[in-house]
Amino acid sequence: MTTPATPQTLGQLIQSKAERFPDAVVLRFVQVGRPDEVVTYEMLATKAQKLAVTLHHRGLTRGTTFAVMMRNHPEFVYALVPASLLGAICVPIDPRARGEAVRAQLAHAECRGLLVADYALPQVQAVLSQLPDMHIVYVLYTGEEGALQETCESWDCLNACLEGPDEHLSQIVSEASQALEIMYTSGSTGSPRGVLLDNRRMLEFRALGKLIFGYRPDDRLYTGLSLAHGNAQAVTLMGALGQGIEALHAPIHQATSVGHHPYLWGHSLFFAWWYGHGHLQRTRAPQRW
């Protein structure tokens, strides 16, 4: 499969980076009480292809929608890239959502599939009977506090899928205009509204780091926002994936506790944060916190 010199989609971008910089670490996820999880371009490309093949076999093809409901885990990004490869549409849902908020977003986006973390599964189970078109559910088992203590035989295991044999799509979607995500607003000013983003817009976010924020190779990006939030994707995730700058993603519920993380020592940092509005600041981290 030949990767074009100028990537037109998120999937092509990751494939291109994996071919050129396979071992470059671009994402780091804080795991409370456990070692961080790091993601290289090669890991991202390989796992995205595995998941894309699996979802394709389950009937998720161009134009179909599936949701991702989890905190900041590598698996969130592993799920976003296959949407680009398949031409499917990813619908990020805040894992703190409950009841009608969950049902309404899944129904409105006409989601046929869902990738959900074990700690968010009870919210999904509460509304699943009201979603007749939801045929595909993969559960990410995290072992986190408050999560399921045993596997559920009713749904497929996302962990097993990602750890399985390497597989590759024979053909990937290459149109920049292909829809990639439906991101819902928070609903703080009324009913949540879905915003449709295509691959072109996602790749354009790379320019924010270069032209607006002036990211440098020795910068470290950090966010405590959910990856279901547009700010986290535009400012941090695509800054990392586009420029090869490492980004630290904190768990949503532990975002304020990672300031002492050794990864942050001695680097110029960019913080993406949310105080009722988008706020970005640059600061020089001290040698020790």
What angle (nearest 5°) sits at the alpha carbon of residue 54, between those of residues 149 and 227?
65
> Does 1 fall in a domain?
no
> Does 3 fall in a domain?
no
Q: What CATH number is given to the structural domain containing 158?
A: 3.40.50.12780
Instruction: Return the structure tokens found at 216.
Output: 């440098």
The range of the structural domain enclosing residue 193 comes to 10-284
**What is 205-261 written as a DSSP string?**
THHIIIIIS---TTEEEEE-S-TTSHHIIIIIIHHHHHHT--EEE--GGGGGG-TT-
pLDDT tens across 37-56, in order?
Answer: 999 999 999 999 999 999 99
> Does 5 fall in a domain?
no
Of the candidates 213, 228, 207, the residue with the CA atom closest to the CA atom of residue 268 = 213
pLDDT at residue 273, rounded to an integer = 40
> Does 289 fall in a domain?
no
pLDDT tens across 236-270, in order?
Answer: 999 999 999 999 998 765 544 455 555 554 444 44
pLDDT at residue 137, rounded to an integer = 96
> Does 40 fall in a domain?
yes
Instruction: Return the structure tokens found at 136.
Output: 């595909």
Instruction: Tell me the backbone φ, ψ of residue 220, rounded to 5 degrees.
Output: -125, 130
> Does 271 fall in a domain?
yes
Asked whether the beta carbons of 173 and 62 are under 8 A apart, the reply is yes
> Does 4 fall in a domain?
no
Q: How many domains does the chain have?
A: 1
Give the global pTM.
Answer: 0.87
> Does 84 fall in a domain?
yes
Asked whether the beta carbons of 176 and 200 are under 8 A apart, the reply is yes
